[in-house]
Chains A and B, each alone.
Chain A
């Protein structure tokens, strides 16, 4: 007997799941439909089929460059975030020390700040740094990609820790202790035992941080300086009606591309887990 659910239970839960999937995808389907709609107006009735919005995308240099900027910012910032997240998660899970609650509070604290406020505060901070450094050292910090990376690392860090820590905790120390008993040093243990076991969680954490950075608007609107990120471009174009259908088209493309990446990551993850037999 399946203790989790009876037959009617299974059917009921299954139906509920299907209903949820439908609910989730209705707006997506609506967006897809309108990406082929031959009208600037996103409203019914429909006006005929066209692929011109997709064709216009290819010539849209600003859009392409904004995608590149967002991609670079997300890739680099997520890398930094995950590196910091692994360090922090390891300390929080494997070590007991005085002030651990306070430390965990601090690490989680970026979750609570409104991004608008954080963006403004960063802008002020960077400007103050410039005012200090320019007359003395002639170094210009300024705004731009590096400022975006800094801001995005701060806000993604809690999510990566929340992704990696549970996995680390669940792994337990027995494997690590066994490795140490067999003579491996701490760094070798980390490198050859812990890290590979942790890799699926690290990949998940990277993807979460990447998605967050790629889609982030509020902080970018303050510290992006002269560069335009994809969300900045998107939100702008959505507001002037001429730009809206193209933005729907590019979102559909981004969705399909990300789906491909996520499916690929999942395939990897399954193979890795099967191999690690955990």
Chain B
């Protein structure tokens, strides 16, 4: 776009030049868009599964719809796919705006990538997604192409198995539990701490329908992941009665409020606790990641493959790297999450984490040691009730 900034402002600049300029700019924009479209590998209609070219004929430009802080090389997190990198494949492109809800919405509305990394409570929804012509949006993995698959915890892979096909390679997992300032509070051991009058104005809840699950476990509901209408009403009334005690609902991270002292106790994930302890250059704030008597809940996430991907074999190679022990070590050490690779060398990760999360004992992820998340069939109802709880605040 060659125009002269100076002449733009000169008196002589007239309408014809203006429109000419606008036309050039618009044309350039359009041309750029078309050129971009041409260089996109093939048409997104995609070759059908049976006509899959071998890896050498794939373009290799993987597009991965991923959570923030996973994998594009900033802050060393490309260690997660280090093996893929070492094998010389081209660096993938990460679209890092994924979260379980808005990400699913975008794909349902038409966005397409090669790989996505959702969490279990929506696994079924992804499998059920269909394009406007009725074809499925996702396809299962071929686990024979993933050499590290044999090392992965089979109990967790079960969750990713639908109709005998492995739609999700489950790789990362973690807990949810109350986290509190141990220098400001006496030791506590129950989820009730999030609903306790003694801590009025110092409590932080996660802005999510998961608070219903917590209320359910606290109040002895048989299956909080699938409550009846009456049970839901009761939990809703319970939550509404406790909302005046809450300082704020966190969306991204409860830790800054905890560190500041605005909040003393919060619903939290392990990485929040880990960062609170070891924040920045060693100055941390003392905090405890509770193991409540009612049990922590756990979550797990995995990779899924889009049906119209042009990089079938590259995708498998990428996931294989993620499923390896190097990735496991990095994930545990930096995020305090768990990794499903059972062959990871636990001596290479901080002892504190092994103890805290029983990383050496896979049974920690089974009832009754903790409550693994299950897909919530009536999530819409839960969501609307959660909105009512918030509106009552």
Contact = CB atoms under 8 A, between A and B. Distances in A.
B132 interface: yes
B19 interface: yes
Contacts of A196: 11, 13
Q: How large is the interface on A (under 10, 10 to 19, 20 to 34, 35 or more residues)?
A: 35 or more
A240 B271 CA distance: 11
B256 interface: yes
B40 A76 contact: no
Contacts of A124: 109-110
A138 interface: yes
A143 B109 CA distance: 12
Q: How large is the interface on B (under 10, 10 to 19, 20 to 34, 35 or more residues)?
A: 35 or more
Nearest to A80: B26
A145 B30 CA distance: 10
A123 B106 contact: yes
A35 to B, nearest CB: 15
A48 to B, nearest CB: 10
Interface string B64-97: 0000110010110000000000000000010111
A33 to B, nearest CB: 16
Interface string B1-45: 000000001010111101101100110111011001100100111
Interface string A36-65: 001111110001000000000000101000
Contacts of B29: 76, 145-146, 149
A79 B13 contact: no
Interface stretch (A107-115, A128-136, A161-169): A128-136
B374 interface: no
A221 interface: yes
B221 interface: no
A164 to B, nearest CB: 13
B96 A142 contact: no
Contacts of A192: 14
A134 B112 CA distance: 15
A40 B279 contact: yes
Interface in B243-276: 252-253, 255-256, 259-260, 275
Contacts of A135: 45
Contacts of A123: 106, 109-111
B252 A239 contact: yes
Contact of B33 (A43, A144, A199): A144
B280 interface: yes
Contacts of A236: 68, 96-97
A79 B22 contact: yes
Interface string A259-273: 000000000100010
Contacts of B280: 39-41, 47
Contact of B25 (A79, A141, A268): A79
B9 A268 contact: yes
Nearest to B69: A240
Contact of A62 (B72, B102, B105, B253): B72
Nearest 6 CB-CB pairs, A to B?
A: A127-B110, A191-B14, A146-B33, A40-B280, A191-B15, A83-B22
Given A142-B44, A236-B97, 11 more contacts: A40-B279, A42-B256, A62-B74, A76-B26, A134-B43, A145-B33, A145-B36, A199-B9, A221-B102, A241-B279, A242-B75
Interface of A: 38-43, 47, 60, 62, 76, 79-80, 83, 120, 123-124, 126-128, 130-131, 134-135, 138-146, 149, 187, 190-192, 195-196, 199, 203, 221-222, 225-226, 228, 232, 236-237, 239-243, 268, 272, 275
